[in-house]
A and B are shown apart, each in its own frame.
Chain A
């Protein structure tokens, strides 16, 4: 049976579970409206010549922040999807049952993240949709294929960080300082709420060392400025380098962590 069919089985499992919580689904859609509204009203007070210069051509701060917030969530979900799948499987005792099946670990990990990423993609559409419907977000010149490719590359790069985070989770069970460090640094210097250009020099250097900076730059360029492939390639190449390095590295670290838990006998400990 192909890995894709198994990943689909994970997706339908999680979809069926989420369907059992319809109220939460509706509240999430409403919450996205509140988020979009917050950025809209905030943007009416944020004006500075420095910011104007740093924004993508033809865009305003509301669009900048809306895209930043919506797509920063991919890093958030990547860092949470893998390790929360392990925490949940440990808590409901399904981890052992999964690990004695004929499904390789890599497929279990990929499958566990399938639904959260698809759900996030829909949530992103809802976010942007509210922005367009009520607050004048109008990406008329957007390069949609470019945005989709940037998003795919971002997910790959972030997934590497997510699997590293899951490695920590499987070894140490609780808390995850590495995850909060990555999220904290990325939130501070990654350009979610303000352009990287407004940061002092040393923080700009740090910003260049994390994938979310390239993801948000590429996404804004594609969506807000309608940038072509020639302008997107730098962000895309950086994201692919992160993915090529992080994915094999993270799977190797995860395999080592899993092996250690099989040695220590703590695989299913909560």
Chain B
């Protein structure tokens, strides 16, 4: 395997419980007791596409948000492009593009072009270089003809593509996506998957770590699958080997068996 672009070492994340009323004032300093990640260790090679799967609340988004420097782990350590995401957040952010699968996160009164110019500036791109990168990524996303429209007039799919274009503006080595095709219609989702796998991962060598509930998407894009269950890492292997090791005919079947086995292990006194 190539050098690791992303490494997680014994990552643990606990959140404080939700407090209401006057006690909400104590929330910022409340003791974190609710486990979201429980000692997750993994590595993603450079140029590899890895999917994170698991049921709702398994810890997928928490893991991605730690890597994106948006939250800090309670214990353990993660590096992205060699930079510790907690202590060297600036270095890590130079390496990463982050996009969640929604159509939000834009200044809707501004055009797509104005939005991308603003975020290009935030990523240290300016002038002709910024314009060149905007032209390049929007061409790649198939939205170059829509850039003069205000974002509020764009369809969900278009805004979604604009979001990915934004994440790619500064040419990140690592792309973190949270449910990347969540709000896309089936045809747009298929286009999007091809774009991710063929253009970004295969042709450009971008490292891709994405969370998804769509297992056909996972099989199509991912070289390996990280299966999380209640914050624990249950399995980390290629879809074919997961099927083979569990004797299941489909990835869905393999994941279901692995999750059941994990539940049985946890139930054992």
Query: Do A and B come from the same complex?
Result: yes
Query: Given A9-B118, A100-B69, A264-B16, A92–B98 Cβ distance below 8 Å?
Result: no
Query: A residues within 8 A CB of B122?
Result: 6, 9, 98, 101-103
Indicate with 1 or 0, residue by residue over B7-30, a CB within 8 angstroms of chain A CB atoms: 000000001100000001101111
Q: Are A262 and B28 in contact (CB under 8 A)?
A: no
Give the shortest distance, in Å, between B69 (CB) and chain A (any CB): 7
- Bound together, the chains give a CA A94 to CA B107 distance in angstroms of 8
Residues from chain A with a CB closer than 8 A to the CB of B124 are: 1, 102
Q: A171's closest neighbor in chain B, by CB?
A: B28
**A237–B16 alpha-carbon span in the complex (Å):** 44
| Partner among A10, A16, A260, A268 whose Cβ is within 8 Å of the Cβ of B29 | A260
Residue of B25, B27, B117, B119 touching A101 (CB-CB under 8 A): B119
Contact A172 B25 (CB under 8 A): yes
> Taking A13-B114, A100-B96 as contacts, is the C-beta distance between A1 and B119 under 8 angstroms?
no
B71 within 8 A of A: yes
**Interface extent on B, as a size class?**
35 or more
Give the distance to chain A from B221, nearest Cβ to Cβ, in Å: 22
Instruction: Report the Cα distance A259→B70, complex, angstroms.
Output: 10
Interface residues of A in 149-179 (CB under 8 A from B): 171-172
Known contacts A9-B118, A96-B100; is A264 also within 8 Å of B30 by CB? Answer: yes
| Closest residue on chain A to residue B122 by CB atoms | A101
Inter-chain contact A17/B126, CB cutoff 8 Å? no
Across the interface, which residues of B come within 8 angstroms of A27, CB to CB? none
Q: Which residues does chain A contribute within 8 Å of B70, judged by CB atoms?
A: 96, 99-100, 262, 267-268
Among A6, A16, A92, A100, which residue has its beta carbon within 8 angstroms of that of B68?
Answer: A100
**B224 CB–A CB distance under 8 Å:** no
User: What residues of A have a CB within 8 angstroms of the CB of B100 in the complex?
Assistant: 96
- Residues of A near B29 (CB, < 8 A) are 260
Secondary structure at the A interface, as helix, strand, loop or mixed, is helix
B94 touches A16 (CB 8 A): no
A94 contacts B72, C-beta separation under 8 Å: no
B126 touches A5 (CB 8 A): yes
With both beta carbons as reference points, the residue of chain B lying nearest to A93 in the complex is identified as B104
List B contacts of A23 (CB < 8 A). Answer: none
Across-interface contacts of B118 in A (CB, < 8 A): 9-10, 12-13
Contact (Cβ within 8 A) B114 A264? no
From B65, B105, B121, B166, A6 is in contact (CB under 8 Å) with B121
Kindly identify which residue among B15, B68, B102, B104 contacts A264, using a CB–CB cutoff of 8 Å.
B15
Taking a contact as CB atoms under 8 Å apart, the answer to whether A100 and B71 are in contact is no
Give the A interface residue count (CB, 8 A). 35
When C-beta atoms are compared, the residue in chain A nearest to B29 turns out to be A260
Evaluate contact between B114 and A16: CB separation under 8 angstroms: yes
Given A97-B119, A97-B166; A267-B105 close (CB under 8 Å)? no
Q: Is the CB of A17 within 8 A of B28?
A: no
Q: In whole angstroms, what is the CA distance A81 to B47 when docked?
A: 42
A133: interface (CB < 8 Å): no
| Contact call A13/B110, Cβ cutoff below 8 A | yes
From A20, A92, A100, A260, contact of B104 by CB (8 A)? A92
Does B142 belong to the interface (CB within 8 Å)?
no
Neighbour of A265 across the interface among B15, B117, B123, B125, CB < 8 A: B15
Smallest beta-carbon distance A150→chain B, Å:
32
CB nearest neighbor in B for A260: B28
A228 within 8 A of B: no
A104 at the interface (CB under 8 A from B): yes
Query: Which residues of the other chain, A, contact B197 by a CB distance below 8 angstroms?
Result: none
A171-B28, A263-B32 known; A96+B107 contact, CB < 8 A: no
- Which residue in chain A gives the minimum CB-CB distance to B98? A100
Bound CA–CA A89/B109 (angstroms): 14
Chain B interface residues (CB < 8 Å from chain A): 15-16, 24-25, 27-30, 32, 36, 62, 65, 68-72, 74, 90, 93-94, 96, 98, 100, 102, 104-110, 114, 117-119, 121-126, 166, 170
Residues of chain A whose beta carbon lies under 8 Å from any beta carbon of chain B: 1, 5-6, 9-10, 12-13, 16-17, 20, 92-94, 96-104, 171-172, 257, 259-268
